Structure 1
Amino acid sequence: MMEPSTHALFRDDPYLKEAAASVLAVNERGGVILDRTIFYATSGGQPGDTGYFERADGSRVEIAATVTGQTKDEIIHVPAPDQPALAPGESLRISIDWPRRYLLMRMHTACHLLTVVCPYPITGAAVSPDDSRVDFDIPDASLGKEEATQKLMELVRADHPVFIRQISDADLAANPGLVKSKNVRPPQGTGSIRLVCIGDEGLIDSQPCGGTHVGRTSEIGEIHIGKIEKKGRENRRFRLRFGPLPVA
């Protein structure tokens, strides 16, 4: 049986705060699958969106999490406890928690810039609204948090454009350096791979990513490296936090 597929509006426009949608299905655990959604589902280190659905009578169904099912196209909206049940075919007005999402967009874009400042293989990453991390395979900690913050903020203030373009599996195979992760490969086989590009013609950075990002680097705002932690012989964890670097 084919799983229901959702049109992911956030992939084309991450700035959508609300939209109309219809219920396709409700699974056995109460997870709601819509025909279209602006809710990002947990993936690639970025947490899923929260928010609410508004029904025709004006009542709300609070959404506590968004996750994927068997495929990336099966996006499941998880209601908070004790919410009213929805039925297939029901029309809704859906709204994300925009302040939270925008923080995640700014932070996720900053993580991409950090991979420019630290051009080393990525061994792990996690995005959150206030304290994100990117782990690198670095043999020594020659780059301190002050220098890393300075270089990061130079890229932020340069106001580089951030945009999406699609490439083929063959294009990726011909340009393996686009993949910065040491252990995780982007999904292939669909005929198209989504690249997040920064700078004119993507000259600052281009890498496969399915997350949500701001449209220009200046939107990130003030950000700094809060800590660099040693996680093994060659693994360094860089923690990103909003605001200026605290004075020692």
Structure 2
Amino acid sequence: MDRVFWTDPYQTRLDSRVVSVTGSEVMLEATILFAESGGQESDRGSIDGFPVIHAEILGPDIVYTLAEPPPFAAGDLVTTLIDWPRRYALMRLHFAAEIVLELYYKAFPGLEKIGAHIAETKARIDFLFEGSIAPTFPDILARFDALVDADAPITSTFSDESALRRFWSIEGFAQVPCGGTHLRRTGEIGRIRLKRKNIGGGKERVEITLVPEIGTSTLFP
């Protein structure tokens, strides 16, 4: 399966051939519909007008479950559409979380991440961290804003194409294994808010949201 969401994450429409149809489950030769992976939620979209209600990675393939069995069959040409505002919000929050995570790793060598999730309106990262993580926010946000203001190019490509392993990199900052959908430049992220949530037992959660208006990033301890 050709994962076009990797080679062109800004593409919102794709015509491709159907590989198989089993009831409501469909497989395609090529796709722009990202399936949940690495904490990033799946895209919303449709295949020939039929809403996709679930996407599941099965080895090298992705199986899409439609709202009802479709009339098309293997070999047919179908059109896939994605909900672009949702995709772009996910891309921005995903990369915001990636940068925040790397900044914490740089500031606190040996820090352990124990969870992460990227949704359309909010991302979160969970750490093993003693005490409140809120006092770290001003420094993290200052470094984050500097990288956003630099509008640095983001490279996203394969480290091992046969194994479907990918990474993103920003020159002089980091190179990180990741199979999500990525922005072209750091400036696209915009400003963010950080909020602390204590989840007990030496565990701290950092919640990340996008700031819709132009301004400086803000924190909510």
TM class, shorter-length = 0.7 to 0.9
Query: Is 1:236–2:175 an aligned residue pair?
Result: no
TM-score (norm. length: structure 2): 0.85
Change (3 A) 1:166 1:247: closer
Deviation, structure 1 residue 234? 3.2
Which of 197, 211, 222 lines up with 2:191 in the alignment? 222
Over aligned residue pairs, what C-alpha RMSD do you find?
2.3
1:190/1:136 CA distance change after superposition, 3 Å: farther
- 1:49 counterpart residue number: 43
- For structure 2, the residue ranges without an aligned partner over 5 or more in a row are 106-110, 212-216
1:21-50, Cα deviation, whole Å (9 max, x unpaired): 11111235x111001101111111011111
Paired residues of 2:40 and 2:117 also in contact (CA < 8 A)? yes
The answer on 1:159 being equivalent to 2:159 is no
Pick aligned residue for 2:90 from 75, 84, 104: 104
Change (3 A) 1:246 1:62: same
Q: 1:18 aligns with which of 8, 13, 19?
A: 13
Letter in 2 for 1:220: I
Which residue of 1 is the match for residue 140 of structure 2? 148
Shift of 1:104: 0.5
* Per-residue deviation, 1:146: 3.9
Q: How does 1:154-193 map to 2 (within 5 A)?
A: 154-167=146-159, 190=162, 193=165
Query: Which residue does the alignment assign to 2:218?
Result: 245
Deviating 4+ runs (over 6 angstroms): none
Q: How far 1:20 sits from its partner (Å)? A: 1.1
Aligned length: 210
Q: Deviations over 1:107-131 (max 9, x none)?
A: 1110111012211322110001111
Contact 1:49 1:65 in 2 (8 A): no
1:65 corresponds, among 42, 51, 54, to 54
Partner of residue 34, structure 1? 28
- Could you tell me how far 1:236 is from its partner in structure 2? 1.5
**CA–CA distance in 1 between the matches of 2:182 and 2:14?**
19
Check 1:52–1:126 CA distance in 2 against 1; reply closer, same or farther (3 A cut). same
Distance (whole Å) between structure 1 residues aligned to residue 220 and residue 199 of structure 2:
25
Opposite residue 168 of structure 2, the aligned amino acid is V
Give the % identical residues: 29
TM-score by length of 1: 0.76
> Does the CA-based 8 Å contact 1:50-1:66 persist in structure 2?
no
Please identify which structure carries the higher strand content: 2
Partner residue in 2 for 1:174: none
